[in-house]
Structure 1
Amino acid sequence: MSSPSVSYLVPVLNEASRLAEAVQAALGQEYAGEQEVVVAVAPSSDGTEEVAAALAAADPRVRVVDNPATDIPAGLNRALAASTGEVVVRVDAHSALPEGYTRRMVEVLVETGAANAGGIMRAEGRTPLQESIARAYNSGLGLGGGVHHAGSAAGPAETAYLGVFRRSALLAVGGYDETLRRGEDYDLNERLRSAGYEVWFVPDVEVTYWPREDWRPLVRQMWATGVWRGEMVRRNGRTRLRYLAAPAVVAGLGTSAAVALSGLDRRHPLPFALAHLAPVAYAGFLGWVAATAGATAPRDRARDAAVVATIQASWGAGFLKGVTRGAGTTVDRSRVRRR
């Protein structure tokens, strides 16, 4: 397995402006083995299908498959079925693979025997708001963060960002779960580990990620992600403690508001007035965020705090919905553009 063939799987929806760059970053990797790109295109409104077709016409290493189900797990499975590589590289159109990424990750698979390898997700921004969102991602302040946000030690991990997989392991666990509309990466890595495979973290490799660029898409993304995380907990009854922080914030603030509206805090100062400690403590936390997230200008610091609050409120409320009532038909529409 010194230079196995590689397939890059690229699920896309409304990514006409970014698809060519993502494909070029994959095929531009300096790697000795054979490489191919399989693009799974969901029904789009911005000409993504035409861009994908043009890329395939210009390079025989690029193939296009339809993803009528729209969801990412379904697109990844369709691309997987159409691919042939011994190694499978998951690609996101909003990420940029660095030079040497494929070569390094294949080396890790060979050296460690792992089934999947992933590096650091390094969020970046082009606008002031996107920069604030990126700082929240990189610090882990928004949702606590996994090892792929700020880890420094190589070794086994619970999950990996994107992922470079042994095809045999990916097929052995049945690929991606198409009943999950979010959280498919975490679920896949959990099933790999349950089957006896290792997931390996590689801290010396950073993949650039471009987060949402506006408030409404950020809220939609975090709500849907929280809902499906709650659905996953509802299904298997397990979760990491860090995923309970945002729901606890929402529950605490909601309890405080309910007590104030009911007047219980005025009629019975103890214990109901204690509920108001939640917003006081959270205000202190947001003040700490503003001071430590990395911004220097007062306006940027205030925006950083507002971003963290938005992420936690949207994700936490979504989690509570998902864990109590299930995900239902919830889907992330943050990338969908109106016609």
Structure 2
Amino acid sequence: MSPAKSPSEPDGTSHLPPVSVFLTVRDEERHLTAAIERVLGQDYAGELEVVLAVGPSHDRTLEIAHELAGRDARVRVIDNPTGRTPDGLNLAVAAARHDVLVRVDGHSELEPDYVRRAVDALLETGAANVGGRMVPLGTTSFEDAVARAMSSPLGIGSAAFHTGGEPGPAPTVYLGVFRRDALERVGGYDEHFVRAQDWELNHRLREAGEVVWFVPDLGVTYRPRGDVRALARQFFRTGQWRRQVIKRHPQTAGLRYLAPPAAVAGIALGTAVAAVGATAGPRWLLVGLSAPVGYAAAVVAGCAVVGRDLPPAARRRLPGVVATMHLAWGSGFLRGLPRAGAPAVAPGTTASASAAGATTGVVYPVAANAPRPAPTEGPGPDRHVTED
């Protein structure tokens, strides 16, 4: 079946708007080539460029980026000195030449028709941002368990970009295809948010009267974390930054965000009561154990349903994966950020945009002397946040 004609091609010829695909990476040598090749292999008939902001890396990421640029003139490499994701995204947007901006991730892989279909939806709906679902795909039994947890309300909540839903306006989407005018009107990515910057940006777009549009069959393959330590670190930091989002936007607090920290607090309190009960008597021991044992039983029962069609090895890992995600996220939320954990940079006054002026020869109306903090998210890539 031939692809449907785009609404931007009324006479059958290519009148598609040119697009700039932008991403920022750090320590991403394992997946970068596949990610960029998927972008360059799009069936989009219009002009397409790739702007790749590379942060300080401990592997061959920069070398691979330049190799990719050397093989295809559509790829441009720019520097992201801090290595922080929002800084790199703003730098890439500032360096981009076109008015349709396609956000991708160094750890994700696009379907061949992704850009074409997303641009069609952008033109049809007039939305500020169009996006679809994160489709996690593992290569090991642990990653398969993470992928299932990340696609289930049991593991990560009910956000449509994780679990699916009907097309239409949504609080947020995975990655996104933006109108530049809308993105610039709200000030781009807020560089205060090392994580949760996508959700926070979509919130500001909606607050400004724009529409964020969800397309359920617009999927992007995502490669999950490969071990318990990396998964726990990811979700702990995501919980920390969700707390920062709620501090900035208190009206976004909801029960689904309070459930993981409540579970952590309940389990900690129950464990403490059980420890006291071990000497105070069996009644207190039973009272204390009710919270951790009840939580564990609920997770195991839920995973038996959610993971019933997984291979045995992944099915065995699923309860531990779900508990790691819940408890790490909740602990991060309760812990919050250290006082010096992030710079207080307001939207529209980004430090990175002034650096982009030096990169592109264009001067941007931003704070020219804004500080450029060192990376705060630890080693490894700061991949896309995986909660709503």
Asked if Structure 1 and Structure 2 have the same fold, meaning a TM-score greater than 0.5 normalized by the shorter chain, the answer is yes
Whole-angstrom CA distance in 1 between matches of 2:239 and 2:216: 26
What residue in structure 1 maps to residue 330 of structure 2? Answer: 316
Cα offset, 1:28, TM superposition? 1.3
Residue 142 of structure 2 aligns with an amino acid whose one-letter code is L
The answer as to 2:222 corresponding to 1:172 is: no
Residues 289 and 181 of structure 1, relative CA distance in 2, 3 Å threshold: same
Local SS of the residue matching 1:162:
strand
**Distance in structure 1 (CA, Å) of the matches to 2:22 and 2:106:** 10
Task: Pick which of 272-281 and 9-18 moved more.
Answer: 272-281
TM-score by length of 2: 0.81
Q: Structure 1 residue 281 and structure 2 residue 291: aligned? A: no
CA distance in 2 between partners of 1:27 and 1:70 (Å): 24
Counterpart in 1 of 2:378?
Answer: 333
Report SS of the residue matched to 1:39. Answer: strand
Question: Aligned residue for 1:255?
Answer: 269
Query: Structure 1 residue 169: deviation in Å?
Result: 0.6
Q: Distance in 2 between matches of 1:116 and 1:178?
A: 19
| Greater Cα offset, 2-11 or 327-336 | 327-336
DSSP 3-state at the match of 1:142: helix
User: How far apart, in 2, do the equivalents of 1:54 and 1:297 lie?
Assistant: 38
> Is the counterpart of residue 301 in structure 1 residue 315 in structure 2?
yes
* Structure 2: segments with no counterpart, 5+ residues: 1-6, 9-15, 343-374, 383-388
Match of 2:233 in 1: 220
Q: Cα gap change, 1:296/1:7 in structure 2, threshold over 3 Å: closer, same or farther?
A: closer
Superposed, which structure 2 residues align to 1:172-191 within 5 Å?
Answer: 172-191=185-204
- How far the C-alpha of 1:293 sits from its partner, in A, is 2.1
Corresponding residue of 1:29: 42
Aligned to 2:351: none
- Counterpart of 1:307, as a letter, is V
Structure 2: how far apart are the matches of 1:331 and 1:217?
A: 16
Q: Does 1:233 align with 2:278?
A: no
Superposed CA RMSD in Å reads 2.3
**Which consecutive unaligned segments of at least 5 residues does structure 1 have?**
none
Indicate if the aligned counterparts of 1:227 and 1:327 stay in contact, CA closer than 8 A. Answer: no
CA shift at 1:280, angstroms? 2.8
CA deviation vs aligned residue, 1:183-230 (integer Å, no higher than 9, x gap): 000000000000000000001211111110111111111111111111
Q: Which whole-Å CA distance do the structure 1 matches of 2:378 and 2:320 have between them?
A: 22
Counterpart residue identity of residue 250, structure 1: V
> Pick from 205, 209, 213: which aligns with 2:218?
205
Pick closer, same or farther for the CA change 1:9–1:265 going to 2, 3 Å.
Answer: farther
Bigger CA drift: 96-105 or 291-300?
291-300
Question: For 1:107 and 1:298, how far apart are their aligned partners in 2?
Answer: 41
Determine the structure 2 residue equivalent to 1:49: 62
Provide closer, same or farther for how the CA distance between residues 187 and 307 of structure 1 changes in structure 2, counting only shifts above 3 A.
same
Deviation at 1:336? 5.8
Mapped partners of 1:144, 1:103: distance in 2: 30
Q: CA deviation at 1:327?
A: 7.8
Return the offset for 1:129: 0.4
Deviation at 1:157, TM superposition (A): 0.1
The TM-score with structure 1 as length reference comes to: 0.92
Which whole-Å CA distance do the structure 1 matches of 2:302 and 2:78 have between them?
A: 44
Conserved? CA contact 2:271–2:292, under 8 Å: no
SS at structure 1 position matched to 2:299: helix
* Map of 2:130 onto structure 1: 117
Q: 1:162 aligns with which of 175, 179, 191?
A: 175
Cα shift at 1:69? 1.1
- 1:251 maps to a residue whose letter is A
Report if the CA contact (8 A) 1:154-1:200 is conserved. yes
Offset at residue 332 of structure 1 (A)? 3.6
**More displaced 10-residue stretch of structure 1: 276-285 or 308-317:** 276-285
